[in-house]
Each structure stands twice: as C-alpha cells, then as structure tokens.
Amino acid sequence: MDKKRRVAMWTVWLILYPAAIWTGYSLNDFPASISIFDISVLTVLTVVVSLFPIRVLNSNISLITGISLAIFLYYGLFLSLVITQIAVFSLTLKVYFNTKEHYRYLTNSLMFAWISVGSGIIFELLGGQTGSCDINTGFYLLPIAGYIVAHFLLNHLLLYVVRTYVFAQKVRFIEKDLWVDIIFEMMVIPVGVLLYVLYSQIGTPAIFYVGFPFLSLSIIINLYHASRQVNDLLQKSSEIGQQMSEHLQVNDILDVFIDKLTSFIMVDGAYIFDAEAGEYFKPIRKYEKNAGMIEHDIKLLRTEGVSGKVWATGKSVLYSSKKQWRETSDSHFNGHGESIISVPMIRNQRIIGVITFMNQKKKTFQKHHLMIMEILSNYLAVAIDNARNYETTKLKSEQCPLTGLYNYRYFENLLSQMYDEFNYFKREFSVILMDIDHFKKVNDTYGHQSGNEVLIQLARRLEHYIGENGTVARYGGEEFVILLPHMNEMDCYRAAEELRSIISMHPFLIKDDLKDKRSHQIYITASIGISTAPLHGEDPLTLLRNADRAMYTGAKQQGRNKVARYVG
C-alpha cells in the first residue's frame, strides 16, 4: 500500500473505529451482573479458536462467530464487540502482522467493529433483547436469524469493498470461498445458540460443556483441513513429478518445476543452483514474481547464504522471518526476503544442487511446504540427471567425434525442417557444399593425424565465420556443408567467396608425423558449390545433389579453388 493510501487508511480508522466503539457502547444493554471470570474464560476461548483459522482458497475462515453470538445474546453488543476485536487482533498478529503491514489490522479491526455494530442494530430493529434466556418463554428467533444474516452479508460486503477499493484487487462478490463460509457458519451458529441457552440456565459450567468441546472441534476441523491440504499437495507433487519425467530437455524440466510450484506455493523468488560447478554455485534458474523467468547474474560461493548452509549440511531449512536468517546474509535476496525455504537436490547420496524459495511476507511457508519441496527436489534431481544423460547421448549421435561439428544425420533432419518451415514462411535458404582440394596429398605427405588437424582447424574457421547465422556440419571425409537460413543465392555466393578466401589465404599449422615431427605451415584450397531452395531443389536430397554438381562441374573441373553456382 502506497503512502497516500496508508494516510487515508489511518484517517478513516481514526474517525470510524472510535465511532463504532461508541455506538456499540451506547446501544448496549448491560446485564444486572457481569462475571469477570466468565468473561475472561469466554475471551480466552474466543482468542484460542481464532488462532486456528481454516485456509480455504485465498481466505482464512475463523469459527469464532458461534462464540461471539453467544456473548452478544447474553452480555450485549459492547462486550461482544470488544472480545471480537481482541480475537481479530490475535488472528491478524498470527497470520499477517508485521510493521510493514499494520494496515491489515486497521482494515480487519474496522471491518469487524462495524460488522458487530450493524448486526446488533438489525437485532434490535427486529425486536430482539439481550440478556438471559428464559427457557419457558423461548428466545428471539427472528432477531437472532436477522443478526446472523446481517453479520454474514456485512462481512462479505465489507470484505468485497476493502479488497476492491482499498487493495485494488479484481474480485467478484460471490466467489468459491463464499459457499465454504456458508457451510461453516451453518455448523457453528447452532453451537453458539446452544452455548447461549445453556449458559443462561447453568452459568459457568456451560462454557466447559459446550465451549471447550467446540474448541476441540475447531482444532480437529483445522487439523483435518490441513491434512487434506497436504494430501492435495502430495497429489500435485506426483503430477509434477510425472510431468517432469515427460521432458528430455533440462530447461523444459526446470520450467515445469518452477511454473507448477509457483502456482500453489506463494513465491516471490525462486532460485535453483547447480552445486557441482567448483567453489561457486552455478545458477541454472532464477524466477522472480514480477519478472517471470530471468537470467541469474549473481556469483555465490557454495559456502555463502542460506543455500550454502543447505549444501554444507545436506539438511533443509525453513525460516519464517528475516531475523532467523539475517546472520547468514543471503545477498541475492537484496534485503527483501522474509520467509525462506531451501532444500538440497540429492542424487545417488550426493548433493547436486540447491533449491531456495523466498517470500517477502513472514510465516508464508509451512512444514508441509517443506515436505513437498523435499519430495519434488528428489524428483527434479532424477529428472535433470536423466535429461543430461539423454542430451549427452543425443549430442554424441549428432556430432562428428573428430571435428565436433554436427554430422550428416543431424544436418539432413535440420534441412527437412527448413523445408517444412518454408511452407509457412516462404523464405529462401541456401546451402554451401565444399571439398578440400588434394586432401589425399596432405595425408600422404604429413600423415593422417596431420590431415585430421587440418579438418579440425578448418571446422573452427567455418564455425567462427558462420557463427549464429547458420549451421556447419561435416558431410563426410574432407567435405563440409553449411546451411544458411533466409539467405538468397547472391548473398550465399558472396559468403562462399569469403570462405574460400579465408581458407586459401591463411595457413594451417600441422606437425609432420611421417618424418621430422616438426611443425609446418601449409596452405590448402577448397572447391565450393552452392544451391538455393526452392529455386534449385524442392526437397533436401535434390538441393544437396545440385550443390554437389555445382562443386564438381563448376569448381573441381574448372581448376579448383573456386565457387560455383548451380545452373539448372
């Protein structure tokens, strides 16, 4: 919340909150006698129940309505309002409160104050009176029903107004959590009425007969709901693990992991480090809520920060606030983090990485989040390991072991893809096919190892010249082929001429393996043929065959060290 809104919030609170307290006091009908002990016990009961809210979707649903109803019906509006405010403060302190978010208490206290006042006014307008219940004459059923309905509607109306106009959130008045709230209200209201009636008849024992079993029920429901959340998270973890196993690229796996986890765990920053890259962590993924997937540019020692502590100890950590990890000083949070959860990625009893999640609010992560993270970190470690093995195997199958260039199989597949793309984009592309002139003479004069050195050095020259503008592959023997996307015939011819000059005008350094083992500088030339799609071929095989024809008929047979275009 910006400064202007905070000032406005304080102004509204200072005006309306005292007005709510005064109104509640003015409308209150105090009973003839008030038991301080009973009020204290009811206050403690209300506060304890408030500390066990049930998290449904994005809302915390508290079950204090039943107890506050009983207090209102017996002691009146003012005491009900005060005790509710104490419970609201306790709940806000547990769930939200820190010095930066004090406005949450202002909004909650103001909301519940006027909800209490508004419900009490409706109760009186319908003819209701507070005080002890006479079981013989019954109690005010219609006013009680009006109080309950007014309490419920005011709660959701004010909540909608606050979220829409104070916090500028896009919400609907009727959301999924509304129906859940109705169900819980229907459960707790009868308990509140029962507590009121029984307290009117037998006094203090009623609090223990009804109130404390209700507290136990509240705790049980909270625990049950928490267990359901854990089960849901376990189910999601299984699904995420399966989805990661479906991918064979490390980047795809990391994207799935971050995308799925941040969809149900509140994360402002996510960091995944490779712990097998020397003394520094190698960041392989960084996610920040306002930036999405971004590059990580921080150099972090493996002994530094929360992530370093996890790597060193091999144990996960969970921090609820900055003061718990301030001494560790994680520089990559830039001082903005509060809640932190960090787990090791373990594979074959070896820590291969660390996953660290951060949120700018306190008490965001719970123990069940830590459990889910530990499970998924193992899934991620296995998936990354399998993907790297696959990528290594795939690379070997696509790579020439001598030159490190792509082999013909890979090039053929890439060329086929270019033809598929041409059907959509209609952009020309060209190939350059070259053959080293008199390469057999190099092998015969200096040895096959020297010939291999020539091939390796030529591969590096071609890669350096082409860069990211195309793909270089070894066609076979002393032949190389280059694919140039989006390049027409004239541009391809100029590029081929430049390559021919680079090859012929700069010497190659080799060692004579047959005679003196001394280093020699030799010059070689290459005959080059080019062809352009779709002009010179409507399929990969035809395009390559025509480039080959141009090379032999237009370059080799015309004296070598030439560039020739295919002429159909």
Q: Which residue has the tokens 């893809």?
A: 417
Tokens describing residue 304: 């530094």
Q: Which residue has the tokens 């144990």?
A: 315
pLDDT digits (tens, 9 = 90+) for 430-483: 999 999 999 999 999 999 999 999 999 999 999 999 999 999 999 989 999 999
* DSSP bridge pairs for 280: 301
Domain 247-391 has CATH 3.30.450.40: yes
User: What is d(CA 159, CA 55) in angstroms, rounded to the nearest whole number?
Assistant: 16
Give yes or no on whether 247-391 and 408-565 have one common fold.
no
Helix/strand/coil for 568: coil
Asked whether residue 518 carries a pLDDT value surpassing 60, the answer given is: yes
pLDDT digits (tens, 9 = 90+) for 544-561: 999 999 999 999 999 999
CA contacts within 13 A on the Cβ side of 380: 31
Phi first, then psi, for residue 533 (nearest 5°) are: -95, 145
Number of other CB atoms surrounding residue 387 within 10 Å: 20
Domain 408-565 maps to which CATH number in 1.10.10.10, 3.30.565.10, 3.40.50.2300, 3.30.70.270? Answer: 3.30.70.270
Q: What is the DSSP letter of 138?
A: B
pLDDT digits (tens, 9 = 90+) for 178-216: 666 777 777 778 888 888 888 888 888 988 888 778 777
Q: Which residue has the higher pLDDT, 276 or 400?
A: 400
User: What is d(CA 151, CA 145) in angstroms, rounded to the nearest whole number?
Assistant: 10
User: What is d(CA 221, CA 284) in angstroms, rounded to the nearest whole number?
Assistant: 41
pLDDT tier, 60 (very low <50, low <70, confident <90, very high otherwise):
low
Which of 18-27, 78-87, 418-427, 440-449 has the lowest average pLDDT?
418-427
pLDDT digits (tens, 9 = 90+) for 299-310: 667 677 888 888
pLDDT score of 554: 92
Helix/strand/coil for 196: helix
Length of the chain (residues):
568
Burial 353-379 (b: 16+ CB within 10 A, else e): bbbbbbbbbbbbbbebbbbbbbbbbbb
Number of other CB atoms surrounding residue 236 within 10 Å: 17
**Domain coordinates of the chain in residue numbers?**
3-225, 247-391, 408-565
